A and B are shown apart, each in its own frame.
Chain A
Amino acid sequence: MAGYKGDDEYDYLFKLVLIGDSGVGKSNLLSRFTRNEFNLESKSTIGVEFATKSLNIDAKVIKAQIWDTAGQERYRAITSAYYRGAVGALLVYDVTRRATFENAARWLKELRDHTDPNIVVMLIGNKSDLRHLVAVPTEDGKSFAEKESLYFMETSALEATNVENAFTEVLSQIYRIVSKRTVEAGKNASSSAVPSKGQTINVKDDSSVLKKIGCCSN
C-alpha cells in the first residue's frame, strides 16, 4: 500500500471522527476499514479508540487517523478533545432504528459546534444488509443529507458493503480541499513552503474552499 515508502512515512495525516448513537456500528465500521474485521458480539465502546490506515490518493500517501467514540451519554464529557483537529467526520445511524436517524441532527449540531465549518461530513446509514428490518428509507437519508450539505452512503459493516468507499470518498474530498489550498498558497509569492511531511493540516481560515453541495449516493 505504501509503495516506495515505509509504512510510517506519509504525505498527509488526516484525523477523522466517527459519531452517532450507541449501537449503530461505528466500531465495526472502523475495524472493517482498518483491519477488515467484523465482530458480531459488539461491546459498547469505552471512551475513545482510534486506528490508522494508509492509502494512496493521486500518488500521495494519505494516513487516516480515525477516532471512534462512545455513543453513550456518559462519555460525552470528552467531546472537545475528541473533535480537536478533525478534518472529516462520519455521522453514522442505524437504518433499522429510526431514533438513531432522528438523533443525527443533534450529532451534527455538536459536530459543527466543535469543528471547523469546512469539515467534510458524510452521513452513513449502516446495517443496510438488514433490508427486511429497514426503518429509515434511503430517500429519507438522502433528503436529510442534501438539506444539510452532507455526503451520503448506505453501508454494511457486516458485509463490507460501501465501507471502503465511504472512507475513501471522505479522505479524497479532504485531500482535494487541502491540495487546492496548497495550489492557491503556491500562487502567492509570499507564502510559506508546502507543509512538510507528517504535519497535520490546519483547515481553518480559508474561505475560498468551495461549498459542499449535493450528496453522493451509493
Chain B
Amino acid sequence: MDIKTMRRGVMENSDGGEDMVLANLIANGDDVGPLVRLAFERGRPEGLLHQLIYVVKQKEAEIEEMCKTHYEEFILAVDELRGVLLDAEELKSELQSDNFKLQQVGSALLAKLEELLESYSVRKNMTEAIEMSKNCIQVLELCVKCNSHISEGQFYSALKTLDLVEKSCTQNIPAKAIKMLIESRIPVIKLHIEKKVCSEVNEWMVEIRSSAKNIGETAIGHAVTVRQRDKEMLEQQRKAEEQSISGLGDLAYTLEAEELEEDSVLQFDLTPLYRACHIHDCLGIQEKFREYYYTNRLLQLNSDLEITSAQPFVESYQTFFAQIAGFFIVEDRVLRTTGGLLVADQVETMWETAVAKMSSLLEEQFSCMESAPHLLLVKDYVTLFGSTLRQYGHEIGTLLDVLNSSCDKYRLLFLEECQQQILDVFGNDPYDQMEIKKQSDYENIVLSFNLQTSDIMPAFPYTAPFSSMVPNACRIVRSFIKGSVDYLSYGIHVNFFDVVRKYLDKFLIDVLNVMLLEKINSGNVTVPQLMQIAANIAVLERACDFYLRHAAQLCGIPVRSVGRPLGTLTAKVILKTSREAAFIALQSLVNTKIDEFMTLTESVNWTPEETNENGNDYIHEVIIYLDSILSPAQQILPLDAVYRVGSGAFEHISNSIVAAFSSDNVKRFNANAVINVDYDLQIIENFAEERFYSAGLGEIDDEVSFKICLVEARQLVNLLLSSHPENFLNPDIWEKNYYTLEIKKVAAILDKFKDSPDGIFGSLANKNAKQSARKKSMDVLKKRLKDFN
C-alpha cells in the first residue's frame, strides 16, 4: 500500500501533495483536529473538504477490492453460521430442560439457604445485642455497687463508682432509655450523698459540741498542772538563790522538761469531718462545704457564748469557759489537719467574736459580784483559760485587760471582807495576854508570823506579850497578801510585787490602823485594855517585816537579794504613830483617873492646927490606883513603856499638887498644911522608888527614876519649908534646887502663905527665934518677888 501511495503521489500535482499529508495523518492515527480548526479559522474549508472526499473514495475502492477477493469465504462462513444456529437452538432447548429440573431439585435447598442466611442475620443481631447488654450489665453492676456503697455509707467509693458509671454511660451505652435514666439519676444520687454527708457532719457537730466541755476541761487541767509545776520550780529557785547569797547550800537546778503530748491526751475524732471534706472535694463543691462548715460552727460558737440566767454565773462559769476552750481546741485541730477547710483568718474572726462576748460577759458579771473569793475564782479560771488558748496561738490581751480592770473591784471587796474580819477580831478580843501551852501552838501563833522576841524556845506554858487579836490579825493580813497575789498573778503585771506592797500598805493603814485608832479613841476601853492595845501594836509593827517578806516570797522575789532591798512598809511608821496615840490615850485616861482622887482643893484642910504624919486620904487612894495600873503594866508592856506610863502618872501627880497650891479655890494655907503635903509627898516618893526598882527599871538607866517625876512638887514644898527661902533668888541655888519652879507661880503661891504667929506665943524662946528668922526671910523673898514682877 505504501508503494501505491508513492506512485500516485508522484503522478499528482501540488494539490495531490496536500492530500497525501492528510491521508498519512489519518493512517497514523494522528489527531486531525488542529488541522481542521486551522482550516476553518482561515476561512477556507473547501480545500479540506475536497481532500476528505478523496480519502473517502480511496477507502471505498479498498473495501470493494477486498470484497471481490474474499466473496467465496463469505459464502462458506454464512453456511457455517446457519449450522451453528441450529446447534444453538438445540442446546437452548436442552438447557431449559436441565434448568427446570435443577430448579425443581434446588428449591428445597434454596429454602434452606434462605433460612441459613436469616440465621446469620439473627446471629449478628444477637451478638450486637449481647455486646450491648454486656455493657449495660457492666454499667448496671456499677450502679448496684454504687447503691451498695451508699447503703453502707461508703460515699467516697460510691462517688468513684458513680464516676465510672458516668463515663460508661457516655461511651458505651447505646440504649437511650437506660442512658437517659442513669443520666437523670446521677445528680439525684450526688445530691443524696451530699445531704447524707451533711447530715453526718451535723451529727458530728452535735457530738463534738457535747465533747467540747470535756476537751476544754482536760486542756485547762493541763494548764493547772503546768502552773503548779512552775510554781514549785520558782519556789525552789528562790530558796536556792537565798541560800546562795547567804553562802549556804548549793544551787540545785534541774533541766528536766516534761513534754505533755497534746494529741495523745486530747482525744477527739475528726474522721467524719475528713470524710466530708473528701466527699465534697470529689463532688466538686468544696467551697460550698467550707462555707457550710464555717457558718454552722460560728452559729454553734454564738450559741455556746450565750449564758443561761437559770444558773448563777459562779456555778456555771467553769462549764462556760471549758466549752469555749474546747471549741477552739477543736478548731485548731481542724485548721491544721483538714487542708483548707478552715483558714486562719476565719478562726481569728471566731476568736475575736468569742473574746468580745467573753469580755462583755465578764465585765457584766464582775460588776454584779459582791464577793471577793468569787472574783478570785473566776479570775483564776479565766487566766488558766487564757494560758490554755495562748498555746493555740490566740491573743488573750483583751481578757487580761478585763481582769486587770476588775482588780480594783476585787481589792475593794477583799478589803471589805478583811475589814469585817478585823472588826470581828477586835470585837472578840478579850485583851488578855495569850497563854500558849505547847510548842506547836507557839510555832503556829508566834514563829509563823515572826512575833518572837528571842530565838530561844521558851518554857511552857508561855504567856505571850500580845492578846489573841494579834495572831488573828496577822492571819487576816497574810490572807490579804495571798489574795492580792493570787489575783495579780498570771495577769498583765509580770512583776507585781510593788502593787502588792502598795495594797498591803493601804490595807494596814486604812483598815487595821484606822480600826486600832477607833478602838483607842472610842472612850469605852479601860487602862489595862489600852495597855494591851499598845503592846499589841508594838508586836504588829514587828510583824510588818514578816508581811513584806511573805509578800516578796509569794511574788517570787528572793528575800536576801542584795540588788533589790525590800525596804520597809509605810504602815510600820504609821503603826508606830498609833502606838504613840495609844500611849497618849492611856496617859490621858490615867491622868483623868488620878484627877478623880487628887481633889486637893476640896478634900484637904489648908489651914490645919496640927500636922498629920499619916498623910491625907487622897494620897493613899492614888497609891492604890497606881499600884493597880503599874502591876498590869509590868505584865503587859515592855520596860520602856512601863517607865513611860509610870513617869507620866507621877508627873501628873506632881503637877496636881503644884496646881492645888495655885488654885483659886485655895485662898490661903499655913505651914501645917505645907508640912502635911510634905508628908504626902514623902509617901508617894517612897512608893515611886520602891515601884521603880521592883519593876526592874533600875537595870535600864541609872540616870532616871520615878522619883524624879515628882521634882516640881518636891522643890515647891522644899521652898515653902526652907529656913532660908530668900535663897530662891540666888541663881546658883535656884539652878541647883528650884529650877522647875516658875517665878510668877511662886510669887502667887507665896501670897497665900500665911503663917499665924499667935499660936506659938507660949513656945520656947529658941523656937520663937527660929521661926521669926524664917518669917523674916520669907518676907524678904515676898517683897523681892513683888518688886521683881
Contacts and interface: CB of A to CB of B under 8 A. Distances in A.
Interface of A: 96, 98-99, 102, 131-135, 140
Contact of A132 (B209, B308, B309, B310): B209
Nearest to A136: B308
Nearest to B307: A98
A140 B299 CA distance: 21
A32 B306 CA distance: 30
Given A131-B206, A132-B206, 14 more contacts: A96-B303, A98-B308, A99-B306, A102-B309, A102-B310, A131-B202, A132-B202, A132-B203, A132-B205, A132-B209, A132-B296, A133-B300, A133-B303, A135-B303
A134 to B, nearest CB: 8
A98 B304 CA distance: 10
B121 to A, nearest CB: 57
A interface: dominant SS:
helix
A99 B306 CA distance: 9
Interface string B256-268: 0000000000000
A131 B200 CA distance: 12
A131 B308 CA distance: 18
23 contacts: A96-B299, A96-B303, A98-B303, A98-B306, A98-B308, A99-B306, A102-B310, A131-B203, A131-B206, A132-B202, A132-B203, A132-B205, A132-B206, A132-B209, A132-B296, A132-B300, A133-B296, A133-B299, A133-B303, A134-B303, A135-B303, A135-B306, A140-B310
Contacts of A132: 202-203, 205-206, 209, 296, 300
A131 B310 CA distance: 21
A133 B300 CA distance: 5
Contacts of B306: 98-99, 135
B600 to A, nearest CB: 82
A1 to B, nearest CB: 31
A131 B205 CA distance: 8
A197 B306 CA distance: 51
A138 to B, nearest CB: 13
Interface string B304-317: 00101110000000
Contacts, number: 27
Nearest to B306: A98
Contacts of B296: 132-133
A114 B303 CA distance: 33
Interface of B: 202-203, 205-206, 209, 296, 299-300, 303, 306, 308-310
Nearest 10 pairs between A and B by C-beta?
Answer: A132-B205, A132-B206, A135-B303, A132-B202, A131-B206, A133-B299, A98-B306, A133-B303, A133-B300, A135-B306
Contacts of A96: 299, 303
B303 to A, nearest CB: 5
Contacts of A133: 296, 299-300, 303
A41 B303 CA distance: 22
B140 to A, nearest CB: 33
B475 to A, nearest CB: 44
A96 B202 CA distance: 14
A99 B309 CA distance: 10
A140 B202 CA distance: 22
Contacts of B203: 131-132
Contacts of A140: 310
B295 to A, nearest CB: 11
A161 to B, nearest CB: 14
B589 to A, nearest CB: 63
Contacts of B309: 102
Contacts of A131: 202-203, 206
A131 B309 CA distance: 22
A98 B308 CA distance: 8
B297 to A, nearest CB: 9
A172 to B, nearest CB: 32
A132 B296 CA distance: 8
Residue in A99, A102, A133 whose Cβ sees the most chain B Cβ within 10 Å:
A133
A105 to B, nearest CB: 11
Nearest to B201: A132
A102 B299 CA distance: 19
A128 to B, nearest CB: 12
A215 B300 CA distance: 29
B330 to A, nearest CB: 13
Residue from A132, A133, A140 whose CB has the most chain B CB atoms within 10 Å: A132
A154 to B, nearest CB: 14
Nearest to B309: A102
B302 to A, nearest CB: 9
Contacts of B300: 132-133
Nearest to B296: A132
A179 to B, nearest CB: 39
B96 to A, nearest CB: 88
A96 B309 CA distance: 16
A113 B205 CA distance: 41
A130 to B, nearest CB: 8
B723 to A, nearest CB: 104
A120 to B, nearest CB: 27
A10 B105 CA distance: 91
A124 B202 CA distance: 22
A23 B79 CA distance: 123
A134 B310 CA distance: 16
A131 B209 CA distance: 10
Nearest to A102: B309
A131 to B, nearest CB: 5
B309 to A, nearest CB: 7
A135 B299 CA distance: 11
